Amino acid sequence: MSILKDKNILLGVTAGIAAYKTAHLVRQFIKAGANIKVVMTPASKDFITPLTLSTLSKNPVYSSFTNEDDDNTMWNNHVELGLWADLFVIAPATANTMSKMANGTCDNLLLATYLSAKCPVYFAPAMDLDMYKHESTKISFDKLNSFGNIIIPATSGELASGLVGEGRMAEPEDIVAFIEADILDKLPLKGKKVIVTAGPTYEALDPVRFIGNHSSGKMGFEIANAAANLGAEVILVSGPTHQKTSHSLVKVHPVVSAQEMYDEVHKHYKGADIAILSAAVADYRPKEIADKKIKKSDSTFTIELEKTKDILKSLGQQKDQQFLVGFALETNNELEHAKGKLESKNLDLIVLNSLRDKGAGFGVSTNKVTFITKSNEVIENELKSKAEVAKDLMYQILKQVNA
Ligand code: CTP
Q: Single out the residue of 179, 8, 180, 176 nearest to residue 80, CA to CA.
A: 8
Nearest CA to ligand 1 atom 17: 328
- Amino acid, res. 381: N
- Amino acid, res. 222: E
- Over residues 328-334, the mean pLDDT reads 91
Q: Single out the residue of 201, 219, 168 nearest to residue 326, CA to CA.
A: 219
**Which phi and psi (to 5°) does residue 264 adopt?**
-65, -45
Question: Higher model confidence: residue 165 or residue 348?
Answer: 348
CA 280 from chain centre, in angstroms, equals 24
Q: Residue 356: what pLDDT?
A: 76
Q: For the stretch 215-245, what's the b/e string if a residue is b when 16 or more beta carbons lie within 10 angstroms of its beta carbon?
A: bbbbbbbbbbbbbbbbbbbbbbbbbbbebeb
Q: Where are the beta strands (DSSP E) in 14-109?
A: 35-40, 61-62, 87-93
Are the beta carbons of 341 and 329 closer than 8 angstroms?
A: no
**Measured in Å, how far apart are the chain's first and last C-alpha atoms?**
31
The Å distance, Cα 258 to ligand 1 centre, comes to: 11
| Active-site residue list | 213
Q: Residue 78: what pLDDT?
A: 85
**Pick from 132-146, 231-245, 330-344, 362-376: least confident:** 362-376
Q: Give the position, in ligand 1's atom list, of the atom nearest the Cα of 283.
A: 8
pLDDT of 68 strictly over 80? no
Nearest CA to ligand 1 atom 14: 312
- Over residues 339-345, the mean pLDDT reads 97
Q: Where are the beta strands (DSSP E) in 161-311?
A: 164-168, 193-198, 203-204, 210-211, 233-238, 250-254, 274-277, 284-286, 305-307
CATH superfamily of this structure's domain 8-185: Flavin prenyltransferase-like (3.40.50.1950)
CA 269 from chain centre, in angstroms, equals 23
Query: Residue positions in the annotated binding site?
Result: 283, 293, 327, 341, 345
Q: Residue 357: what pLDDT?
A: 76
pLDDT of 361 strictly over 70? no
The H or E element that residue 232 is part of is none
Are the beta carbons of 177 and 256 closer than 8 angstroms?
A: no
Kindly report, residue by residue over 304-319, the tens digit of the pLDDT. Answer: 999 999 999 999 999 9
**pLDDT classification of 379: cutoffs 50, 70, 90:** very high
Q: Residue 359: what pLDDT?
A: 73
Q: Give the position, in ligand 1's atom list, of the atom nearest the Cα of 350.
A: 15
Are the beta carbons of 97 and 26 closer than 8 angstroms?
A: no
pLDDT of 70 strictly over 70? no
Q: How many CA atoms lie within 13 A of 197 on its CB side?
A: 34
The Å distance, Cα 397 to ligand 1 centre, comes to: 20
156 — alpha (psi -120 to 50), left (phi > 0) or beta? beta
Do 8-185 and 193-401 have matching folds? yes
- Over residues 231-250, the mean pLDDT reads 95
Q: Is the peptide bond before 42 cis (omega within 30 degrees of 0)?
A: no
Kindly report, residue by residue over 199-230, the tens digit of the pLDDT. Answer: 999 999 999 999 999 999 999 999 999 999 99
Cβ-proximal residues to 90 (8 Å cutoff; 6+ apart), any chain: 11, 12, 13, 14, 97, 101, 110, 114, 121, 122, 123, 124
Helices 172-186 & 22-31, crossing angle to 10 degrees? 50
As a whole number, the mean pLDDT across the chain is 94
Cβ-proximal residues to 142 (8 Å cutoff; 6+ apart), any chain: none
Kindly report, residue by residue over 278-300, the tens digit of the pLDDT. Answer: 999 999 999 999 999 999 999 99
- The domain limits of the chain are 8-185, 193-401
The Å distance, Cα 202 to ligand 1 centre, comes to: 15
**pLDDT classification of 151: cutoffs 50, 70, 90:** very high
Q: What residues does ligand 1 touch, defined as CB less than 6 Å away? A: 197, 258, 277, 279, 281, 283, 308, 310-312, 326-329, 341
Q: Give the position, in ligand 1's atom list, of the atom nearest the Cα of 351.
A: 15
Q: Residue 396: what pLDDT?
A: 96
Nearest CA to ligand 1 atom 8: 310
| CATH fold of the domain at 193-401 | Rossmann fold (3.40.50)
**pLDDT classification of 31: cutoffs 50, 70, 90:** very high
Q: How many CA atoms lie within 13 A of 274 on its CB side?
A: 32
Are the beta carbons of 266 and 258 closer than 8 angstroms?
A: no
Query: Residue positions in the annotated binding site for CTP?
Result: 283, 293, 327, 341, 345
Q: Residue 72: what pLDDT?
A: 64
Are the beta carbons of 20 and 47 closer than 8 angstroms?
A: yes
Cβ-proximal residues to 291 (8 Å cutoff; 6+ apart), any chain: 206, 207
